[in-house]
Amino acid sequence: MSLPAILERIAQIDQIVSPKPPASTGGSSSSGFLTALNDGIERGSSLAAPAAAPAVGVGGNGAPGAGALAAAQSQVGVSEQPPGSNDGPQIAEYRTATAGSGVGPWCAYFTSWAAAQAGVPLGEAGQGFGSVSALYGWAQRTGRATPAGPGVQPNPGDLIVWGGEHIGIVESVDADGSIHTIEGNSSNAVSRRTYGPDGGGATGYVRLG
């Protein structure tokens, strides 16, 4: 068989295997064999490399309160060393979130540290607080404070304040209104506590962010 005859036969086989679209459709004039091969490669690539799942932000929804709560949850069980000393390696770490801090009652240091971990440090200059009353005063000035009272229910990640004496972080609220908290310097440790709907006589709540 002559060379022209061989080439003509190849063209006929190519047309049978993968007919070319009419010229009016604007289809490619590349070989049908090559097109089929490329299609197969592309299909294989899409199966081998599926799109990556979207990243989940800090605390799942990115809310400042959720980040502070996650930080607090990671510390449950940390205790003073020795008990009653208001000190210990991790408690010293909490104090680093508050400017001018010193060894002493550390519930406000703990909440300042948790907020700083979430990227929302407390205070006008992000200086943190060692005093509960100073923290709540700042929250009142900046519109972050909500007084406790009938029908007032905090959200997880809010701070819960008892006068100028103590502060914690709300972990969850039950359907009956019971409030679960995480508190630093509670029984010389970071501890979980549960209160009734009044928050155990809470003064108010502080929204972060």
pTM exceeding the 0.85 threshold for the entire prediction: no
Q: Spell out the CATH class of 64-206.
A: alpha beta
Token pair 């010293």 is found at: 92
What would the DSSP string read from start to end of 14-67? HHHHSPPPPGGGT---S-HHHHHHHHHHHHHHHHHSPPPPPPPPTTTT--HHHH
Question: How far from chain centre, in Å, is Cα 34?
Answer: 49
Q: Quote the pLDDT of residue 29.
A: 40
What is the pLDDT, as a whole number, of residue 1? 55
The phi, psi pair for 73, rounded to 5°, reads -60, -35
* Domains of the chain by residue range: 3-48, 64-206
Q: Is 138 helix (H, G, I), strand (E, B) or coil?
A: helix
Question: pLDDT per position in the chain (209 positions), as tens?
Answer: 555 565 566 666 556 545 444 444 344 444 443 343 344 333 333 323 333 322 222 233 348 999 999 999 999 999 999 999 999 999 999 999 999 999 999 999 999 999 999 999 999 999 999 999 999 999 999 999 999 999 999 999 999 999 999 999 999 999 999 999 999 999 999 999 999 999 999 999 999 98
Q: Which residue has the tokens 């029984």?
A: 187
C-alpha separations of 43 from 49, 108, 142 in Å: 10, 58, 57
**Tokens describing residue 35:** 């097109």
pLDDT of residue 51: 34
191 bridge partner residues = 183
CB contact at 8 A, 178 and 194: yes
pLDDT at 69: 98
Three-state DSSP at 192 gives: strand
Strand partners, 186: 189
What local confidence, expressed as pLDDT, does residue 63 receive? 84
- pLDDT in the model for residue 209: 84
Q: Are 129 and 138 in contact (CB under 8 A)?
A: yes
Distance CA 100, CA 98 (A): 6
